[in-house]
A and B are shown apart, each in its own frame.
Chain A
Amino acid sequence: MNSGIDLEMSFTQGVQNLGLSQELAHLLWIPLPMLLVLIAAVIGVLVTVWLERKISAAAQQRIGPEYAGALGILQPMADGLKLLVKEDIIPARADSLLFTVGPILVLVPVILSWLIVPFGQNLLISNVGIGIFLWIALSSIQPIGLLMSGYSSNNKYSLLGGLRAAAQSISYEIPLALAVLAVVMMSNSLSTVDIVEQQNTAGFLSWNIWRQPVGFIIFWICALAECERLPFDLPEAEEELVAGYQTEYAGMKFALFYLAGYINLVLSALLVSVLYLGGWGFPISIDWFSSLIGISIDNPLVQITAASLGIVMTVLKAYLLVFLAILLRWTTPRVRIDQLLDLGWKFLLPISLVNLLVTASLKLAFPMTFGG
């Protein structure tokens, strides 16, 4: 297996050649990918907000934002800037400490989860061994933040929204984890890089979606529920709860919730593409393609094109899923809380368990195709 471009190694070697120690070179390297991923996440959110507004408008036969930049592309920037300079209000009877910590606790785990999102062979912050498990663990911190902000707002709507968010997150985390477990079982690794590599042996035919169609659907439904996207947006159901746990928030703290929601959506889409759609892999195998045109896979030009196309592939797959999420938003009506919990516990949980068992037995029966 070819390891591809390793930017970290080249960077540390370059710095070491300047006469610095290896530790110092590593220390200099660390902030770079973090900053890059943070910028990528924020730009991803801006693009998603713009897409959401434009696609929503198109689905409703409107035009949508138009005057802020070409095609309204700067509208999310304008929105963000407005929230940034808005007055920061803490209600008089609210618990100001919890009220402030809440949104931070919602945002930080989501951003931290970007740690494990691979855009290429070595294009991720850290290839941690527990990989995908880290994301599942981090995403369960979020409901604590939601509950905290809902409770501390000292407002009925906020409290109800916070409770709903917590109930929803907790009940959909289990089928989510079980769906991930089935994938992990097939690739024999928790690391996201390994999961993608195992899928990229024969182009799109080796993607996990063909071996895990049920898991893919379960994962996508649960991801939508975790992001509080429309069929499952009860925690902030405008018609009943004003804005749920965000009701009392304004300015930058509200922006943190907003940002967390969209970063989480992009992250979920990225993880679906990593787990089921072959991550940075192309629909056709790159090895096969390079041998077809007669260039060695180790050719630097091929390597660079492959790496940049890999990033494009990952982002493209993720944004197709974001598009699907937005389309679903305008297609499906909101479920009731009892229907939500019914779906989570009585439908998704048993199905994901069966899926896991079937995957396990298939793995024993056909170790070649199901990663023995």
Chain B
Amino acid sequence: MLGFLQKVADYTQDAVSAAKYLVQGLGVTFDHMRRRPVTVQYPYEKLIPSERYRGRIHYEFDKCIACEVCVRVCPINLPVVDWVMNKETKKKELRNYSIDFGACIFCGNCVEYCPTNCLSMTEEYELASFDRHSLNYDNVALGRLPTSVTSDPSVRPLRELAYLPEGIMDPHELPDNQKRAGLLPTQVLEELKKVKLEEENNSSKDIAPTKINSNN
């Protein structure tokens, strides 16, 4: 009899705790309802891509020396470098250059290895088209610069996570002058320069005694 009663008590306790957790869960859901939506209303609002964003590739025809390094470092040898040898000047003459963004994986190897920096990555990611062949960009198309999100008057630019001030998650209703957490890339470069200078000064002092030691 006591065992049965114990069972009933346990069962009731289980049911009560389950109900408690359920109410707790409802509280969480209810609390979420009064929070501001975190979604970005895409065609009207856009996130500002980061400086390291790997978007559609930009190409400067005049800088290119047709070395084909981009082709060699590409995982699928995608860039098409159309050049002919000019016998008289003994120089390569570039005629056409194209990248098919229907096949490109935007790994950025070509940009990394280009010896003349004629390739670079833009922040353009809206590459949808009705025909996959129209994604095959020639040197003219590759030379176009995309409209920046910040300069497009029909778009409200929003800052992303790392570009928001410390502790703020929501890019909406943020004053313009609020700086992001941490240093800007230019500040980081300056800082690095300083560190390097100091190190050089230190090492020039340090090197002298070690040389003496090695002589001994």
Question: Is A320 in contact with chain B by the CB < 8 A criterion?
Answer: no
A61 touching B26 by the CB < 8 A rule? no
How far does the alpha carbon of A2 sit from the alpha carbon of B36 in the complex, in Å?
Answer: 49
A59 touching B15 by the CB < 8 A rule? no
Question: Is A327 in contact with chain B by the CB < 8 A criterion?
Answer: yes
How far does the alpha carbon of A256 sit from the alpha carbon of B22 in the complex, in Å?
Answer: 32
A59 touching B32 by the CB < 8 A rule? yes
How far does the alpha carbon of A135 sit from the alpha carbon of B128 in the complex, in Å?
Answer: 53
Question: Is B208 in contact with chain A by the CB < 8 A criterion?
Answer: no
Please give the distance in Å from A247's CB to the nearest CB on chain B: 29
Find chain B residues with CB under 8 A from A327 CB: 26, 29-30
Find chain A residues with CB under 8 A from B37 CB: 57-58, 61-63
Find chain A residues with CB under 8 A from B38 CB: 61-62
How far does the alpha carbon of A291 sit from the alpha carbon of B128 in the complex, in Å?
Answer: 71
**Chain A: how many interface residues by the 8 Å CB criterion?**
14
A63 touching B41 by the CB < 8 A rule? yes
Interface string of A89-117 (1 = CB under 8 A from B): 00000000000000000000000000000
- Contact residues of A between 311 and 334, Cβ < 8 Å to B: 327-328, 330-332
Question: Is B35 in contact with chain A by the CB < 8 A criterion?
Answer: yes
* Given A63-B41, A347-B15; A331-B36 close (CB under 8 Å): no
How far does the alpha carbon of A330 sit from the alpha carbon of B32 in the complex, in Å?
Answer: 11
How far does the alpha carbon of A347 sit from the alpha carbon of B22 in the complex, in Å?
Answer: 17
Find chain B residues with CB under 8 A from A59 CB: 29, 32-33
* Given A63-B41, A347-B15; A330-B29 close (CB under 8 Å): yes
Please give the distance in Å from B199's CB to the nearest CB on chain A: 48
Question: Is A55 in contact with chain B by the CB < 8 A criterion?
Answer: yes
B33 touching A55 by the CB < 8 A rule? yes
Question: Is B212 in contact with chain A by the CB < 8 A criterion?
Answer: no
Question: Is B39 in contact with chain A by the CB < 8 A criterion?
Answer: yes
The 8 Å CB contact of B36, one of A55, A61, A330, A332, is A61
How far does the alpha carbon of A347 sit from the alpha carbon of B16 in the complex, in Å?
Answer: 13
Question: Is A3 in contact with chain B by the CB < 8 A criterion?
Answer: no
The 8 Å CB contact of B32, one of A58, A63, A328, A347, is A58
Find chain B residues with CB under 8 A from A62 CB: 37-39
- Contact residues of B between 99 and 117, Cβ < 8 Å to A: none
Please give 6 more A-B residue pairs, beta carbons under 8 A apart, in addition to A60-B32, A63-B39.
Answer: A58-B32, A59-B29, A59-B32, A63-B37, A63-B41, A332-B25
